[in-house]
Structure formats: C-alpha cells, structure tokens
Amino acid sequence: MRIALDAMGGDHAPGPVVLGAIQAVQKDAAMHVVLVGDQAQIEPLLASAGNVRDRLEIFHASQVVTMEESAALAFRKKPDNSITRSWQLMQQRKVEAIVSAGNTGAVVAGGFLLRLFLKGVRRPGIAALMPTQQGLSVLLDVGANVHPKPEHLYQYGVMGAIYAKHILQRDKPKIGLLNVGSEEDKGNELAKETADLFRSSPLKDQFIGNIEGRDINKGVCDVIVTDGFVGNVVLKVCEGVFDFVMRVVGKELLGALKTELPLAQQAMGGIIKRYDYHELGGAPLLGVDGICIICHGSSKERAIENALHVAAKHARAKLNELIVKELTAGGAATPEA
Amino acid sequence: MRIALDAMGGDHAPGPVVLGAIQAVQKDAAMHVVLVGDQAQIEPLLASAGNVRDRLEIFHASQVVTMEESAALAFRKKPDNSITRSWQLMQQRKVEAIVSAGNTGAVVAGGFLLRLFLKGVRRPGIAALMPTQQGLSVLLDVGANVHPKPEHLYQYGVMGAIYAKHILQRDKPKIGLLNVGSEEDKGNELAKETADLFRSSPLKDQFIGNIEGRDINKGVCDVIVTDGFVGNVVLKVCEGVFDFVMRVVGKELLGALKTELPLAQQAMGGIIKRYDYHELGGAPLLGVDGICIICHGSSKERAIENALHVAAKHARAKLNELIVKELTAGGAATPEA
C-alpha cells in the first residue's frame, strides 16, 4: 500500500504532517508513504522515524500552493507544486492514494485537470462524515462541485450508498436529499429534478425523499445528498456551531462547578475528541480513479495519521470497483433526465 | 398597535398560540391582537384573559392551511384560511403587523400573492437572528426566495443592515456574503455576481466580503447574506447541531456528575433557554409593506408572546420607512448589474 502525502499542505505543514505519517506507518506495517514536498524541510523531520524510515520516502517538489491561492493561477505559476506532483504519482500508478490537508480547491482541481475520473463518473464529489444520534452518516458533495447538474447529485447518491455500505457497514443505506422542506414540491429546480431522478432509479427503494437541515444530526438517513455549495456551508456551519456550543458549555456549565469540575472536564474532553470536526480523519473525493483523501486545513498529526489509515481502508475495500460496476451497465446507471 | 395573529398556525395551535397573545397584551398596554381563526375554538380559550379581554378580538376564518400543504393548492381550495385573512387585514390597514407560526411557505406566499411589497423592494426575505460569540447577528434570506437574483441578495444586505442598526443597535453594521471560501474568486455564479454588486455599491465600506459557514457563530459580521435555500438549510442545521450537542452534553457530561448535578442542570437550562432555536421570537419577512413575523412551527406560548413583542418593536422602529428611503433614490439603491 503506497500513499502519497502532501507534506506541504495545511496550516501546520510540514512538521505535524510528517509526524502523522511516521505514526501511521508505525501502526500499519503494510503502509508506505511518499512524502511530497520540499526535501530540505522534510528530511530533518524524519530523524525520529527510527525503524520505519525505510517505509517513508521523499518525492521532492519545490513549490507550494498556499491556502488562499486560486487553483488555476497557482497551477500555472507553480508547476512543481506538491499537490500536482501527488496527483501525477497517482496517475502514473506509483501510489494507490493521495492525502492532502492543503488548499481544498486546488486538491480537487488537480484531479479535475488530469480528468482522473472513474469510468461512468461525471463529476467526483467530496464525502464528509457527519456525527448523528444514530452513528455516522455521509454528506456529499461538500465542495468539489458548486455548479452540479441533477445527474451529478444522483451519482453522489450512488457513490455515497456504496461508501455507507462498505465503509460504515450499513446493510441497505438510506439516501436523503437535503432540501428546505420534506414535501415533494419543495426546493429549487436542482433539488426537484434530482428528487425525480432518484424516484425513477434503481435506488428508489433506498431514497427517503427530502430531508431538512435539522434532520442531519438526527441520523434519519445514512447518505445525505446535496450540491457542493450547500454541503460545504453545512459542514462548516456544523463545525462553527459545535465550537460555539462547547465554548458556552465550557464557560457557563463548567464554570458553575467546583468539586466535580475535573469529572466534567474529562467528560467534555471525551466529547470534543469524538466530535471535533478538526479531528475527523479526512474526507474522500469519491469518483476519482484512485483514492484522494482531503483533510481539514487545520489538521495536526492525529488528523493526518487518521487520514492515512482511512486511505488504506478505502484501498482495501475496493470501493472504486464497486462504483464502476454500479455506474455502468447492470447497476444503478444514471436514468435519463 | 394592532397585530393580527394566525391563531391556527403551528404544531400546537390554537391553545398555546392564544395563551401567548393573552400574555403579550398583559405586558404591553398599547397592544391589541386580532386572533384570526376558528371562532368556536378561540372563544373558550379567551376565558382566562380577564381584564385584557377587550384588547383581544376574534376575526373568524373557517379554514386552516396545514403544515405540509403546498401553498398554491391550499390557497385555491381554502380561500377562507387564517393566513390569507391575516394578510388581507394588513392590506386593508386594519392591522399594522401579522404574526404566524403556520406553514412558512404559505405565510410567505400569502404576501407575495398580494404583491404587498415595499416600494423599491424586488423580493422580500426572511431574516433570522443567529447567536454568536459577539451577540446576535442577522442571517437572511432563510427561505422566502429559493431562486434569487444577485440584486435580491444585495437588497437583503441593505435591509439586513437597517435591521442590525435599528433593532440590534449596531452603529455601522458589517455585511458578509456566505460562501464556500473567503477568497474573492470563490463560489457559484450567484455568489460572485452578488459580491461584485456589493463592491460597487454605497455599502462597499460595510461589506467585508465572503464569509464561511464556520464564521457565522464567531460573529465576524452583523449581517450574513445568502439565498433562501442555503439560509433555510443553515438555520435548520444550527438547530439540529445545537439539539444534538446539548443531548450529548446532557448524557455524557451531566451523566458524569453526582453532588453538583443540580448546579450543572441549572446552567444547562440557562443555555437552552437562551439559545434554543425553538424559543427565539420569530423572524421578520423584511421588505413587505407592513410587518410579518414568522415563527417556528413548534412555537408555544413563550415564542408567540416574544414574536408579538418583536412585531410591536418593529412597528415602533419604523424600519419600513428607512428601507424605502435606502432602496429608492438617494440611498443605497441597487447598482446596475
């Protein structure tokens, strides 16, 4: 299992990113990580790698796309950037997966520019895990595609259901369409046309119809389909509300305690560790020919390590073969609009 | 101050709705509420009104639009419904404001059908208050307009800024556009064109540019502009995450305590009372010629009472005169796209 890791990607790169790679290969004896980035910065960080050093390789890339840069401009000005080099390694089949905490727009654009799409897939989408009262659900797209067509959203439902079945172990995943109301006639044209596609598709028995924003965390379905604009906003709103509420709880609830404060702090630490959106292990860009795991820009070693394990898990589950089978003849091929 | 209250609107109507009206007129000696709905059901509920009974009037409407009905169909089949009758009372200037916890789509459609718009306003929008680390911000539109044009969003910025200034007492309100990233080139066409409008408008100094979902609760701006689809989803996601997190805190954090549990429960009760989205006092539909306050469908007496006070406050602040002045010559008239 060879994985390319964008060693320069994210707010804290390269230190904690390289550390995450060391921790990941220590735990997974079959993992080999190619650290893509500035050799002069990465080399010294590998001093602590010890007996896993031989499974950590450096692929030198001299340039870095910053978190704020426009992908199109950055790729033109910086052809030797760590994101493009990572994608190229995957295109050349030198790695099975890539992981990056860098500029999300640029990571997505890197794959789109190479048209490294799976057969039958019209547009890849980013799938994010959402904590719910019933365990995890998968929300997609959260930002790869801000101008989707109904057929794209339908394919997100197909890929999300495969993900929910094989990664989240849901027997017959339920699919919901994020909308402004649960009634059939609700929403904008995109939502209405997408709902029609699902209702006339092989997935119609798994499609529960429209769901509202407040249903996500209730866990009413395993797969939540939406466009990349809405999904991205929703993911970040969840993060913002979680941070806000935990801050208020920390101040007002913990602030009211004395003798049992340590107990409360321990419980709160557990909640934050479990649900903190910064700590989740990266979101897969589903539909690319290969595996691409996108991490939060604020990722530190734990998040990077998690993301590398997620990439390995995806590769072992052979999700891509299942997606191609479903999206081409015989499976849940997209109905004609 | 005469306000029409849709006595049949919401999940709990008419009991708690009528009770909310009684409580509101008890606290505001200048308030007169016209209860619109089924006289036979409302009359007995007024038995407890005592000495405020003379400021509670019934306007009989024999029909009710249910929470799930399509507005267009409902209005055709049920011309004597409480929502349409409330709007007609406002059109005839028999009331200054209307309040409803009924089917939001139908409440909005009632005003749109009568074209009861303020001069210069192209499309009214619903403004919701969002709790943030810096106090309240206003998010609009949260569901009146799911197919907006950039000019509509620009006008939401104008109206939201007037609201923030005169209701939230912000001296020079900051306006942000909800987007998938803070960089200028981010987002879909609607977001890009809207940002351009703001940047070339008289509001350019108050416009802080794009904000992301996670910035809302940080309170980075006073007014958050977005389209009705995204805004509606965001509002309900906030509600869902808040409920979810408070449930987890209740179980795991409070569950870890013994002797100080009552203290923690009291603090938690305070947080829920302050931030619970069910308890907020209704969202104004800004841009209509009159005042329309839309309540959460789950509103009980406290929420209805709050909404009636909000309606009175809006009327006293004369927001509409300020909006007309801003949106017509001399103010922040919409720049040409």
Residue B28's pLDDT is 98
Residue B74's pLDDT is 93
- Taking only residues 267 to 326 of chain A, the set having a beta carbon closer than 8 angstroms to any beta carbon of chain B reads 267-268, 270-271, 275
| Ordered alpha helix ranges (H), A167-300 | 189-199, 228-248, 261-275
Residues 6+ apart with CB under 8 A from B252: A267, A270, A271
Q: What is the pLDDT along chain B (337 residues), one digit of tens a residue?
A: 999 999 999 999 999 999 999 999 999 999 999 999 999 999 999 999 999 999 999 999 999 999 988 898 999 999 999 999 999 999 999 999 999 999 999 999 999 999 999 999 999 999 999 999 999 999 999 999 999 999 999 999 999 999 999 999 999 999 999 999 887 778 889 999 999 999 999 999 999 999 999 999 999 999 999 999 999 999 999 999 999 999 999 999 999 999 999 999 999 999 998 887 666 679 999 999 999 999 999 999 999 999 999 999 999 999 999 999 999 865 666 665 4
A113 touches chain B (CB under 8 A): no
Interface test with chain B among A139, A227, A236, by most B beta carbons within 10 Å: A236
Q: What would the mean pLDDT of A296-318 be, rounded to a whole number?
A: 94
Q: Is the pLDDT of residue A166 over 90?
A: yes
A67 touches chain B (CB under 8 A): no
Q: Do B241 and A243 touch (CB under 8 A)?
A: no
Q: Do A233 and B229 touch (CB under 8 A)?
A: no
Residue B21's pLDDT is 98
Q: Is the pLDDT of residue A332 over 70?
A: no
Residue B279's pLDDT is 66
Interval A178-233: pLDDT, tens? 999 887 778 889 999 999 999 999 999 999 999 999 999 999 999 999 999 999 99
Which chain B residues touch A239 with a CB distance below 8 Å? 213-214
Q: Is the pLDDT of residue A279 over 70?
A: no
Confidence category of residue A275, pLDDT binned at 50, 70, 90: confident
As a three-state string, the secondary structure of chain B is CEEEEECCCCCCCCHHHHHHHHHHHHHCCCCEEEEEECHHHHHHHHHHHHHHHHHEEEEECCECCCCCCCHHHHHHHCCCEHHHHHHHHHHCCCCCEEEECCCHHHHHHHHHHCCCECCCCCCCEEEEEEEECCEEEEEECCCCCCCCCHHHHHHHHHHHHHHHHHCCCCCCCCEEEECCCCCCCCCCHHHHHHHHHHHCCCCCCCEEEEECHHHHHHCCCCEEECCHHHHHHHHHHHHHHHHHHHHHHHHHHHHHCCCCHHHHHHHHHHHHHHHCCCCCCCEEEECECCEEEECCCCCCHHHHHHHHHHHHHHHHHCHHHHHHHHHCCCCCCCCCC
Taking the C-alpha atoms of residue A306 and residue A257, their distance in angstroms, rounded to an integer, is 34
Taking the C-alpha atoms of residue B262 and residue B264, their distance in angstroms, rounded to an integer, is 5
Residue B332's pLDDT is 67
Q: Select from B237, B252, B258 the Cβ nearest to the Cβ of A234.
A: B237
Q: What would the mean pLDDT of A151-178 be, rounded to a whole number?
A: 97
Residue A186's pLDDT is 82
Q: What is the mean pLDDT of chain A?
A: 94
Q: How far is A138 from chain B (nearest CA, A)?
A: 15
Taking the C-alpha atoms of residue B191 and residue B283, their distance in angstroms, rounded to an integer, is 23
Interface test with chain B among A233, A246, A257, A298, by most B beta carbons within 10 Å: A233
Residues 6+ apart with CB under 8 A from B13: B6, B7, B37, B101, B102
Taking the C-alpha atoms of residue A60 and residue A35, their distance in angstroms, rounded to an integer, is 8
pTM for the full predicted model:
0.93
Nearest CA in chain A to B70: A185
Nearest CA in chain A to B220: A240
Q: Select from B105, B217, B248 the Cβ nearest to the Cβ of A240.
A: B217
Q: How far is A231 from chain B (nearest CA, A)?
A: 9
Q: Select from A147, A178, A237 the Cβ nearest to the Cβ of B213.
A: A237
What ipTM does the predicted assembly reach?
Answer: 0.92
Confidence category of residue A335, pLDDT binned at 50, 70, 90: low
% of chain A at pLDDT higher than 70: 96
Q: How far is B125 from chain A (nearest CA, A)?
A: 15
Which chain B residues touch A247 with a CB distance below 8 Å? 133
Which chain B residues touch A179 with a CB distance below 8 Å? 233
Residue B331's pLDDT is 64
Q: How far is B189 from chain A (nearest CA, A)?
A: 8
Q: Do A216 and B240 touch (CB under 8 A)?
A: yes
Interval A64-74: pLDDT, tens? 999 988 898 99
Interface test with chain B among A108, A211, A244, by most B beta carbons within 10 Å: A244
A232 touches chain B (CB under 8 A): yes
Q: Select from B216, B226, B267 the Cβ nearest to the Cβ of A240.
A: B216
The gap from C-alpha B198 to its chain's centroid, in whole angstroms, comes to: 24
Q: How many contacts, defined by CB atoms under 8 Å, are there between A and B?
A: 188
Taking the C-alpha atoms of residue B65 and residue B11, their distance in angstroms, rounded to an integer, is 12
* Structure-token pair, residue A254: 């913990």
Q: Do B133 and A236 touch (CB under 8 A)?
A: no
Q: Do A188 and B258 touch (CB under 8 A)?
A: no
Which chain A residues touch B234 with a CB distance below 8 Å? 213, 233-234, 237
Cβ-contact B143, B226 below 8 angstroms: no
The answer to whether the Cα torsion of A79, A84, A86, A89 is positive or negative is negative
* Structure-token pair, residue B313: 């406050």
Q: How far is B262 from chain A (nearest CA, A)?
A: 10
- Ordered by where they begin, the domains of chain B are 2-121+287-317 (3.40.718.10), 125-277 (3.40.718.10)
As a three-state string, the secondary structure of A220-247 is CCCEEECCHHHHHHHHHHHHHHHHHHHH
Please choose, from the candidates A32, A68, A7, A1, the residue with its C-alpha nearest in 3D space to the C-alpha of residue A299: A7
Confidence category of residue A278, pLDDT binned at 50, 70, 90: low
- Taking only residues 179 to 208 of chain A, the set having a beta carbon closer than 8 angstroms to any beta carbon of chain B reads 179-183, 185-189, 191
Looking at the DSSP bridge assignments, the partners of residue B153 are none
Q: What share of chain A is helix, strand, coil (3-state, %, to 5)?
A: 50, 15, 35
Residue B226's pLDDT is 98
Q: Is the pLDDT of residue A158 over 90?
A: yes
Interval A45-56: pLDDT, tens? 999 999 999 999
Q: How far is A245 from chain B (nearest CA, A)?
A: 7
